[in-house]
Amino acid sequence: MERPLFIAALAATHGNQIKAADLLGLNRNTLRKRIRDLDIEVMRGLIGHGSDG
């Protein structure tokens, strides 16, 4: 459930992690750690879905 929420927040903010963290009510560093833990690929302005495409 957390992974789709993070992907949606990143998509809504065009990959802007500061804005996505604010939207989710998280610290940016916490968001970055969860992105790594959940294998979410983030590129400038774009997000990927990690190894599952």
Conformation bin of residue 41: beta by default, left when phi > 0, alpha when psi is -120 to 50: beta
SS3 46: strand
pTM of the model: 0.78
pLDDT-derived band at 42 (thresholds 50, 70, 90) equals: confident
Q: For the residues 36-51, what does the mean pLDDT come to? A: 75
> How many folded domains does the chain comprise?
1
SS3 47: strand
Give the model's pLDDT for residue 44. 65
Ranges of beta strands (E only) in 1-53 are 42-43, 46-47
The residue segments making up the domain with residue 11 are: 2-52
Q: What are the structure tokens assigned to 39, written together?
A: 């294998």
pLDDT-derived band at 19 (thresholds 50, 70, 90) equals: very high
